[in-house]
Amino acid sequence: MIERKAQIFNVQKYNMYDGPGVRTMVFFQGCPLRCTWCSNPEGQRRGFQVLLKNDQCVHCGACVPACPVNIHRMDAAGRHVVARNVECVGCRKCEEACPESALAISGESKSIAEILEIIEEDRPFYETSGGGATLSGGEVFAQPEAAISLLQACRQRGINTAVETCGYARPEVIASVAEHVDLFLYDIKHMDSDEHYRLTGVRNETILRNLVWLLENRHDVKIRLPLLKGVNDGEAELNLLAEFLAPYRELRNFKGVDLLPYHKMGVSKYGQLGWDYSVTGDPKLDEEDLARIGQTLGRHGLSVSVVRH
């Protein structure tokens, strides 16, 4: 029998932000959304991604003969360029050949057993802190079969499970994964569907329907609000959100709201991927903004906390 594999792009240990206690985060590759502020752009597409740190590249050309599909080339001026129209096969030979560590390949295929072995390494921390494993991305629901296999394996070993999700998936996929999850960390980017489409590339009706299903079927859910100043932090937007959540705020499985202030930790990756970063200005929220948002949601009886990365 061939063991199921997952396409992932990172495993992060000792996480304290994404679920209770100390967590190991597994980042699944592939996402149906294209959020303008995405901090993990290398995880958006399912395939391997070539990241080039231009400020470290010395244009030596060592990567050119190493690549079996000719992604790396030297232009007429003798400078290294990445052919973004060529699909990377993930061999990492260019990464190994680069003398300046200017190249990195995002994405790797790992078996469920291999991922579980990494998660198991920190079992003592989970046991003392009430932590566990959190599946993130990209988007977990882009690989539901692999996610279920990993979640089942964690549950069988008594490891707490959490899933961080945008919620954009078929209802039957949500239901199939949900029975293996202890906590959903569920993003709401914008309540207005047209604006949601402008910001993420998809409308929000499916996301909100799936959220309601999870709450009504007694799955533990914590709402997460990725916040950008002047984009989704207005009083009208917050009141719409609070009104939408009002019928569920007394449910035991509704675990409150996390505020995720905008940060720039992923901005440099866009240049490394050869992409433009479309967020303009500085939509960072200050302490007064966060206090105001917390007070607005609090007036509606919602429990609010701030997650600071």
Tell me: the pLDDT tens digits for 84-133?
Answer: 999 999 999 999 999 999 999 999 999 999 999 999 999 999 999 999 99
- Identify whether the C-beta of residue 229 lies closer than 8 Å to the C-beta of residue 262: yes
Residue 2 has pLDDT above 90, yes or no: no
- Which residues have a Cβ under 8 Å from the Cβ of 143 and sit 6 or more positions away? 6, 7, 28, 29, 30
Distance of CA 226 to the CA centre of its chain: 11
Confidence of residue 3 (pLDDT cuts 50, 70, 90): confident
What does the pLDDT average to over 18-27? Answer: 98
Which domains are delineated in the chain? 5-44+110-306 (3.20.20.70), 49-106 (3.30.70.20)
What does the pLDDT average to over 29-55? Answer: 96
How many alpha carbons lie under 13 Å from residue 2 in its C-beta half-sphere? 5
3-state secondary structure 36-103: CCCCCHHHCCCCEEEEECCCCCCCCCCHHHHCCCCCEEECCCCCEEECCCCCECCCCHHHHHCCCCCE
Average pLDDT, the chain: 96
Cβ-based neighbour number of residue 66 at 10 Å: 17
| Closest of 109, 105, 104, 134 to residue 119, by C-alpha | 134
Tell me: the pLDDT tens digits for 65-86?
Answer: 999 999 999 999 999 999 999 9
Q: Give this prediction's pTM.
A: 0.95
Confidence of residue 308 (pLDDT cuts 50, 70, 90): confident
Cβ-based neighbour number of residue 291 at 10 Å: 12
Tell me: the pLDDT tens digits for 225-271?
Answer: 999 999 999 999 999 999 999 999 999 999 999 999 999 989 999 99
Cβ-based neighbour number of residue 287 at 10 Å: 9
Tokens of 2: 């061939």
Q: How far apart are CA 147 and CA 134, in angstroms?
A: 11
What does the pLDDT average to over 36-62? Answer: 96
Helix (H) or strand (E) holding 259: strand 254-261
